[in-house]
Structure 1
Amino acid sequence: MKIWGRANSINVQKVLWAADECGVAYTREDVGGAFGGNDQPWYLKMNPNGVVPTIEDGGRIIWESNSCVRYLAARYAAGSLWPTDAGERSEADRWMDWQLATILDGMRIVFWGLIRTPPEKRDMVAIAKAIKELGGLWARLDGWLEGRKYVAGQYFTMGDIPAGCMVYRWYALDIERPELKNLRAWYERLTTRPAYAKHIMVKLT
């Protein structure tokens, strides 16, 4: 399998983490950001959106990071990362969608504002507003995790991967956060996974 995308992209990190959890052998090529290439015809032919990641597996091209995670889980880890029970799988699916629909925008404002924007150009009002709102949004997952080890129940699934990437940034950023004991316990469980430590718990750049 081949993965195109830079390793400091959170969307690429999702796929690298999932691939390692599935035990899939792969190669990765730097594309996007400072490396460029994602606006070139050869890349746009694979991924018309020109974003990362893109994966190729046995001649099949997949893009959109959560779709890549679902594909890997279904093909290589059915019964574990990809729950075969439709109801249990829906629990994993909804938290994957929640990461995109609910938590992404605020996390982007804070991460880009504090990590990828020079201090003199930061919109601290917008950043502070996003941090406050994110505290309430993460509290939703904290409440859901009461009595659960992972987002879909007692076992690690694909549902933990997208939000799990973001919760590392939430705790790694130099910001004030509410005390959310269930969220913190879930995060600490994720940190014991070798693939999480390798691909997600890296310096923020």
Structure 2
Amino acid sequence: MLTIWGRLNSHNVKKVAWLAQEIGMPHVRHDVGGQFGMSDAYLALNPNALIPTIEDDGLVLWESNAILRYLAARYAAGTALWPDDAAARAVGDKWMDWQFGYAEAQRDCFINLVRRPPETRDLQAIAASAAASAAQMAIVERALQRSPWLSGDNFGLGDIPMGVYAYTWFTLAIDRPALPAVTAWYERLTQRPGYASQVMIPLT
């Protein structure tokens, strides 16, 4: 059985837990990081002191997007999650790495509005972060005007990393420009059971 270490209020852990449900993979998840801390046993698995980490059939693996690629390649090969055609995979794959830039843009909004009490919030940082996030989401908007999913014609692995961050984008108390293609994509994501149960949880 797949074991996932990491608290579910982490964007990167959500990615892995969501994919596990998408592929119907039995798994157990242990809360690690944040208020749960990290034991010496965990740090022996992941010396970076980050989450998530998985163990699957003797393989210990960290880095969330590497985990996504591994699970899809092993358990969903030949499906829309991991197409046999390399070019088809690449369409979505680029968004997995692109997402890290978006995460940096959104970081100050998230930290200030979710993790800090109101009296310690940096309003200038929030405004700058919201503007940077909107500029990045405009790129996603243009992509989704051409195809219904970031992975192409079908939901795929490339939709998962930005799909997790889209929930935060639509949940944070910030001004958002009208992005109809992004909004329609997000609404389709919310209909997926794994997204509803593993991603759409209160921001903490």
TM-score (ref. length: structure 1): 0.96
Write the letter of the residue equivalent to 2:97: D
Tell me the distance in 1 between the aligned counterparts of 2:181 and 2:76: 26
Q: CA deviation at 1:147?
A: 3.0
Residue 186 of structure 2 corresponds to which residue in structure 1?
Answer: 187
Write the letter of the residue equivalent to 1:125: Q
Tell me the distance in 2 between the aligned counterparts of 1:27 and 1:141: 33
Write the letter of the residue equivalent to 2:85: D
TM-score (ref. length: structure 2): 0.96
Say if 2:172 is the partner of 1:178. no
Tell me the distance in 2 between the aligned counterparts of 1:53 and 1:133: 26
Residue 96 of structure 1 corresponds to which residue in structure 2?
Answer: 96
Q: CA deviation at 1:130?
A: 1.0
Q: Deviations over 1:50-94 (max 9, x none)?
A: 111100000001111111111111111112211221111111110
Tell me the distance in 1 between the aligned counterparts of 2:152 and 2:131: 28
Q: Deviations over 1:85-133 (max 9, x none)?
A: 1111111110000001x20112111111101011111111011011012
Tell me the distance in 2 between the aligned counterparts of 1:33 and 1:44: 14
Q: Describe the SS at the equivalent of 1:146.
A: helix
Residue 146 of structure 1 corresponds to which residue in structure 2?
Answer: 145
* Long gaps (5+) in structure 1: none
The alignment-based identity, stated in percent, is 50
Q: How many correspondences in the alignment?
A: 202
Matches within 5 A, 1:59-98: 59-79=58-78, 80-98=80-98
Q: Deviations over 1:121-169 (max 9, x none)?
A: 1111011011012111100010011131100211011100000000010
Tell me the distance in 2 between the aligned counterparts of 1:133 and 1:5: 28
Say if 2:43 is the partner of 1:47. no
Write the letter of the residue equivalent to 1:81: L
Q: CA deviation at 1:183?
A: 0.7
Q: Give yes or no for contact 2:14–2:199 (8 Å, CA) kept in 1.
A: yes
Residue 13 of structure 2 corresponds to which residue in structure 1?
Answer: 12
Tell me the distance in 1 between the aligned counterparts of 2:94 and 2:7: 27
Tell me the distance in 1 between the aligned counterparts of 2:47 and 2:187: 37
Q: CA deviation at 1:195?
A: 0.3
Write the letter of the residue equivalent to 1:107: Q
TM superposition outliers: structure 1 runs of 4+ over 4 Å? none
Q: Give yes or no for contact 2:107–2:129 (8 Å, CA) kept in 1.
A: no
Residue 56 of structure 1 corresponds to which residue in structure 2?
Answer: 55
Tell me the distance in 1 between the aligned counterparts of 2:106 and 2:65: 17
Superposed CA RMSD: 0.9
Q: Describe the SS at the equivalent of 1:62.
A: strand
* Long gaps (5+) in structure 2: none
Write the letter of the residue equivalent to 1:120: E
Q: Describe the SS at the equivalent of 2:60.
A: strand
Tell me the distance in 1 between the aligned counterparts of 2:173 and 2:27: 34
